[in-house]
Amino acid sequence: MSSHDLEYKAHLAQLRSALATAEQMRNRAEAERAQALAHLVGIAQEVVPGDVDRLARQGEQIDEWPPDRLGGWLRGQIKARITRLSMLARTDLADQVTELQAKLTERETQILELSDLIRKLQGQERDLKTARRELAALRQENVRLRERLAALEAQVEVQTATSAPAPAEAPGTRAGEADAWQALNAQASRLKQGEGQAAGARSSPEMSRDQAGLPPNPTGMLTYLDDWRGKSYWPQVEAILRAMGEQGVCRPAGLLAVLRDQSRATVYRNLDRAVEWGLVLSDFVSAGLKGGKPSRVVRLSATGQAVYRHLFGRDPVVSLIDRLANPHRSEEQALLALMARDVFQHYGALVDLFPDPISLASGREYRPDLVVVWQETPLYVEVERGPRRGRAARSDKWSIYAEAGGGQFYFVVPGKEAQGKLLNELTLWTREDRQAVQVSICNLSNWTEAHESPWTLTKGMGQRYKA
């Protein structure tokens, strides 16, 4: 046998050995894969048995899935549950934060009350100066009337001396004399009243507070409170104060949701009474919905906060719209966020109005407007009223959102105009960045409770979704 044959046989033996080794490794890998798949299936059946049963009813057997698909699905389900538990656990912390914020705002409220008092006292001082000027004018007119009366009395004396007396006629019955006496008496009455008002304004600052409509001091507030408690509708008004002070309710719609035992007309009527009594401040904010009608926003006034503390023995929480509004979010956008929460809660979803920022794999940070747990899955929702920043900043925002949401975009918009601007902007961005995203939009002007889901528009955008 030649050396070439020996070399060939040796090489062939090496190849057979290598092939046998590879076969062993493949068999081992398949066994490990089967074992890993069995572990994942076992974990899924223990952690999310309901979802496994639901998939089975739909004809999906997770033990037939590839491990990477099964692992990704299981991670998503576990993440959704962790998010939900985190949101529930964060409620206690949120209450503590709210309590601290309320204590901090108490000082601000006191400052506002003092500023209000100073402003009202300045107005009272101006009124006092005006009253003094009117009093001086009345005194001058009184002098002129006395002079006129003296002249009339002298004229009467002359006429009496030169003519026969008329016994049936009293001195004050003639038209000129009667007019003079009536004018003098009226002027004297006005003068006395003016002097009393001026003296009262100088000597009774507490009376000035009441006449000026200032918020009552603690003692005065208790007097008013006794008055209010005597009204038959006071329990309904007290329920409104409790809802606003305990839950930060800031809209009539929120009050209707809390006070289910009261009719719409009763809630609105008693809310107006609370405004009239100075317990609640009422304002209107436009969210940009179809028709342009602004929405009513209510807050506890300084007096309302003081009454709440007296009634319930604790500080009221900060109004939700005030907590939501910040340098990066307008009051209008905060109102939209509250309206969006109502829509999602209509379908039984959990809504986090104050989500924590999310750190992304790229090192960037994403701050969602809302986190909605929809059918066990957390959704990052953006509240959009239309572009208000530069194009570069907006493009960067969509890039970050795409990374955070895996290409799933969820929006809440007030109406048609905002929706059109948003879609135009996303179309341009997907073309320039060669992105593909799935967009779901809740248009608050189009949505009604009859909709099967909050989404009034769902569409794909970008290269992947071209026909």
Of residues 106 and 461, more confidence is placed in 461
Of residues 237 and 434, more confidence is placed in 237
Mean pLDDT lowest for which of 245-254, 384-393, 395-404? 384-393
Of 2.40.30.200, 2.60.40.1120, 1.10.10.10, 3.40.50.920, which CATH number belongs to 218-319?
A: 1.10.10.10
Q: Is the dihedral of CA 269, 273, 279, 280 positive or negative?
A: positive
Query: What is the residue type of 442?
Result: C
What are the tokens at 438? 């799935």
pLDDT band at 192 (very low <50, low <70, confident <90, very high): very low
pLDDT band at 329 (very low <50, low <70, confident <90, very high): confident
- Helix orientation angle between 175-203 and 67-162, rounded to the nearest 10 degrees: 140
Distance of CA 390 to the CA centre of its chain: 27
What are the tokens at 304? 């309302």
pTM > 0.75: no
* pLDDT score at 67: 77
- Fold entry, domain 331-465: Trna Endonuclease; Chain: A, domain 1 (3.40.1350)
Q: Where are the domains of the chain?
A: 121-161+173-211, 218-319, 331-465
Rounded Cα distance between 185 and 172, Å, is 13
Question: In the block, which residue shows the tokens 């008055």?
Answer: 227
Nearest to 190 by CA among 242, 137, 127: 137
Nearest to 279 by CA among 245, 302, 258, 248: 302
pLDDT band at 340 (very low <50, low <70, confident <90, very high): very high
pLDDT band at 32 (very low <50, low <70, confident <90, very high): confident
DSSP 316: P
pLDDT band at 381 (very low <50, low <70, confident <90, very high): very high
- For 128-166, how does the pLDDT look when each residue is reduced to its tens digit (9 = 90+)? 666 666 665 665 565 556 556 666 666 666 666 655 444
Please list, in sequence order, all residues whose beta carbon lies within 8 angstroms of the beta carbon of residue 294, skipping any fewer than 6 positions away: 284, 285, 286, 287
Q: What is the DSSP string of 385-428?
A: SS--S-HHHHHHHHHHHHHHHTTEEEEEESSHHHHHHHHHHHHH
What are the tokens at 49? 């048995």
Of residues 113 and 79, more confidence is placed in 79
Of residues 467 and 345, more confidence is placed in 345
* pLDDT score at 344: 95
Whether the predicted pLDDT of 447 surpasses 90: yes
